[in-house]
Structure 1
Amino acid sequence: MNRRETQKIDQKTGRAINRQMILNIIRRSDGLSRADIAAQTGLSAAVVGFVIRELLDEGYLVEEKPRDSRSGRRPVPLRLNENGHLAIGLKISSRRLDCLLTDIAMGSLDRLSIDLPDGNPATVVAHARQIVDEVVSRQKGPRRPILGVGLSLPARVDPDEGICIRSHRLGWRDVPIGPMMREALNLPVFIEDDTLAYGLAHALFGIGQNLGSFCALAVGEGIGCASIIDGQVWRGSLGNAGKVGHVFHQDGGPFCECGRRGCLQTFYAATALEERWSKEGRKSSLCEALQNADQEAQALVAEAGAVIGRYLANWVTVVDPELIVLGGESTAFGEAFLVPMQAALDHFYYREQGPRIVPDDTSFYWTAGAAAVAIQHVFKDPYPTS
């Protein structure tokens, strides 16, 4: 490679990094002027102006009305263009498919859910095509460009090849679900583990939007923990990072979906707690019992919260997050679950107090996580440092 070719590559790389830097600063703001962006990035006014023009032309940004100024030209704030590009999120569960249509700022525009007759990949793809076509066709006004489709599923995945390597819950192994969806939808398709996608959604536009490092703990059918470190989702070497539910808890415990016995989630996942409660022949659900201040129900979820909090203390000692977002069906257990978890985390953490646990009792960020898998490619640093 000669010097001229090397210079072209360096210039292209520099432009890409500047572009991502500016997009991410605007993403985290309520509107910034060109001068604000230059001051925050250290880039020259000329470079900022060039990148902004490019992003305006491509429909990623929009200019707002000029703000009042005491002297000189009035600054023109720039925001993400919520009337521009679209993204589609598909969250695949064992017997359900959730679809969310969003703008580039992950604002919800439409959503649909359908039950799946079976978990066969071909069935999932056929229903995905049906639900995506319906969501897109319901949009009014000029046709807007679609960035792509993000898939989230409870699985170990190869995001580069779009392959579901293994999903115990879906019963899939080495399924090329990404290419299958791409062929059916005729759109770019990106895939990710559902807990990591959930953490990504919070990193882009949720509770962790302005945090460098945080964790997203999901306690539902299983137990998983996405770690966002220096703004990057930590996947691990094989995409297995955060499978907290599969840490060993007790000899001779119930069989886990992974084939082993004694995994933490077989004792304390939300669905496991519901099953333990119903096996006693009780007529009310665990959540109903908690609402009625049933002492046995409170003791059961307090035990779960305390045990998970103890394991969480070990986890956060390693990754050092600023806070922990708690999501999944377990948020319905309320303070009876959360307070013992925070207390155990604080007690077993090596410092005086552990990071704060913040509950997310909405379902939005789960489906939005799928859309975020597509949206992230607009904001992703092509050369991350971590």
Structure 2
Amino acid sequence: MFAYIKGNFITNRKKGGEEMNYLSGNLELMHELNTKQILRVIRQFNPISRSEIVEKTNLTAATVSRIVSKLIEFNLVTETGYGESSGGRKPILLELNPGAVLTVGIDLEIDEIKGLIIDLNGRVLLEDNLSIKGEREQDHIINRVIEIIKKLLSKKDYRSRVTGIGIGMHGLVDYARGISIFPPAFGWRDIPVADMIKKEFDLPVIIENNVRALTLAENWFGMAKDLNNFICLKVGSGIGSGIFTDGKLYRGASNSAGEIGHTMVDEDGPLCSCGNYGCLESMASIPAIVKRTVKALKQGADSKINSMVNNLKEINEETVFLAAKQGDQLAGQVLQDTGRYLGIGIANLINILNPEVVIIGGDIVLAGDIILESMRSTVHNRALSYPAEHVKIINSRMGKEGVAIGAAALILESVFNIGHNINVDIGL
């Protein structure tokens, strides 16, 4: 969409006190800002009339009319009927054309790559996946990512409408430079993933930490749609949090914000992968749940899990979740303890950040309400009473596609929102 205005407001001072020269671009920049503002309002309130857009944006009627006409010309916005009249003509209603802009989302997991294409409403139009189990060499994994993107783009007539590619992956990510700083499971260092993918497709590519991608998915299409202050906790093989504050993802000074998994909840707890003891991740992640269950069974605990598997090596999180749902005391206690540990971490976040909502995502949601209720109870007892009374703690409904959907939404975020340094061109 919008030409990136390099050099805007740049001043060139010449020797001898010559008059300063200003590179223009002001009108183009203003057009971009106004267009993004109108797109955001239509998305948030659609269907909406032109006069309502004027009220909500404080732009002039002439500006709104001119930009809306251009959006209709490019098929980004459609007229859908008439609204209620307060006297005079009924206003024509506008809404986004969801199929006008498509984006690719990639979830680069430790053992699998998930890929999909979504429209402006977050509807998954196409999806695919590839196994990379045991693969760790960077060029090979990047080539596998390229392979799945090519498969997605080769189907139907989507390629002409795809405006960019978003990638969510674990570990430290430099969003602004498109660099994977350090994904622990892969062992890479400072790999320019975005540039490597962009060379293949000549499309904008944005990479982001997987938990922050999931957080963005919740804000665009999920349980936190259009909220300004919330936290998304992803609990799986590790534990991380995405922080949304004042309407923006918070990344921190060095892109490491949200590492709640490495905050201590028990100083006498087990050794964590980071080298410390008693970290939340070592106490409440999926591997920690399985490890505590197996340890109790080895110590002679009575449980129906013994009859569900041939040997202890077969136990996984699904075994524990199923046993708990069937009333098994050991499995239920393990999950309640897990909820308590998570609740301690969440209570700390609530006291510090005062969110409207805390969303729990990742494989942990498959446990059902046992962990969720334990979390809520712990938060009620440990967080400051006022913020605790005003926060909701809920499970995500995104499912296994959440990170990939959020990765695709990274492109939409750059199209709709002001302040992004990544240019996504949709033709206006």
**How does the TM-score come out when normalised to structure 1?**
0.92
Indicate the residue corresponding to 1:49 in structure 2. Answer: 65
Indicate the residue corresponding to 1:374 in structure 2. Answer: 411
Whether 1:364 and 2:401 are equivalent positions in the alignment is yes
Which of 291, 301, 305 is equivalent to 2:325? Answer: 291
Alignment of 1:99-110 (within 5 A): 99-110=115-126
Indicate the residue corresponding to 1:276 in structure 2. Answer: 292
User: Helix, strand or coil: the match of 2:241?
Assistant: strand
Which of 361, 376, 380 is equivalent to 1:327? Answer: 361
Q: Which amino acid in structure 1 is aligned with residue 152 of structure 2?
A: V
Contact 1:169 1:257 (C-alpha < 8 Å) held by counterparts = no
Contact 1:313 1:349 (C-alpha < 8 Å) held by counterparts = yes
Q: Which amino acid in structure 1 is aligned with residue 244 of structure 2?
A: I
Query: After superposition, what is the alpha-carbon deviation per residue over 1:105-140, rounded to whole angstroms, capped at 9, x for unaligned?
Result: 322101111111512221222222222222222224
Structure 1 CA distance, aligned partners of 2:172 and 2:75? 34
Whether 1:217 and 2:254 are equivalent positions in the alignment is no
Whether 1:133 and 2:146 are equivalent positions in the alignment is no
Which of 370, 378, 384 is equivalent to 1:350? Answer: 384
Indicate the residue corresponding to 1:303 in structure 2. Answer: 337
Indicate the residue corresponding to 1:242 in structure 2. Answer: 258
Alignment of 1:120-269 (within 5 A): 120-140=137-157, 144-251=160-267, 253-269=269-285
Distance 1:5-1:57 versus aligned 2 partners, 3 A rule: farther
Contact 2:51 2:61 (C-alpha < 8 Å) held by counterparts = yes
User: Helix, strand or coil: the match of 2:69?
Assistant: helix
RMSD: 2.3
Structure 2: where are the runs of 5+ without partners? 1-10, 12-18, 299-304, 309-318, 422-428
Q: Which amino acid in structure 2 is aligned with residue 368 of structure 1?
A: I
Q: How far did 1:3 drift?
A: 8.4
Q: How far did 1:210 drift?
A: 2.6
Distance 1:265-1:184 versus aligned 2 partners, 3 A rule: same
Q: Which amino acid in structure 1 is aligned with residue 285 of structure 2?
A: A
Structure 1: where are the runs of 5+ without partners? none
Q: Which amino acid in structure 2 is aligned with residue 189 of structure 1?
A: V
User: Helix, strand or coil: the match of 1:83?
Assistant: coil
Distance 1:173-1:252 versus aligned 2 partners, 3 A rule: farther
- Same amino acid, percent of matched pairs: 27
Worse-superposed segment, 91-100 or 20-29: 20-29
Query: After superposition, what is the alpha-carbon deviation per residue over 1:66-119, rounded to whole angstroms, capped at 9, x for unaligned?
Result: 346464333222222212121000100111000010112322101111111512
Contact 2:280 2:345 (C-alpha < 8 Å) held by counterparts = no
Worse-superposed segment, 229-238 or 374-383: 374-383
Which of 87, 92, 112 is equivalent to 1:76? Answer: 92
Structure 2 CA distance, aligned partners of 1:124 and 1:186? 19
Structure 2 CA distance, aligned partners of 1:227 and 1:198? 11
Contact 2:222 2:396 (C-alpha < 8 Å) held by counterparts = no
Q: Which amino acid in structure 1 is aligned with residue 418 of structure 2?
A: D
User: Helix, strand or coil: the match of 1:363?
Assistant: helix
**How does the TM-score come out when normalised to structure 2?**
0.83
Q: How far did 1:248 drift?
A: 2.4
Whether 1:116 and 2:128 are equivalent positions in the alignment is no
User: Helix, strand or coil: the match of 2:190?
Assistant: strand
Indicate the residue corresponding to 1:23 in structure 2. Answer: 39
Residue correspondences, number:
382
Structure 1 CA distance, aligned partners of 2:252 and 2:189? 20
Contact 2:168 2:207 (C-alpha < 8 Å) held by counterparts = yes
Larger Rg: 2
Query: After superposition, what is the alpha-carbon deviation per residue over 1:290-331, rounded to whole angstroms, capped at 9, x for unaligned?
Result: 121111111111111112112211111211111111111111
Indicate the residue corresponding to 2:14 in structure 1. Answer: none
Q: Which amino acid in structure 1 is aligned with residue 406 of structure 2?
A: G
Q: Which amino acid in structure 1 is aligned with residue 410 of structure 2?
A: V
Structure 2 CA distance, aligned partners of 1:73 and 1:4? 49
Contact 1:154 1:194 (C-alpha < 8 Å) held by counterparts = yes
Structure 2 CA distance, aligned partners of 1:202 and 1:4? 45
Structure 2 CA distance, aligned partners of 1:165 and 1:257? 18
Which of 306, 312, 315 is equivalent to 2:349? Answer: 315
Q: How far did 1:270 drift?
A: 2.2
Structure 2 CA distance, aligned partners of 1:215 and 1:82? 27
Structure 1 CA distance, aligned partners of 2:273 and 2:170? 12
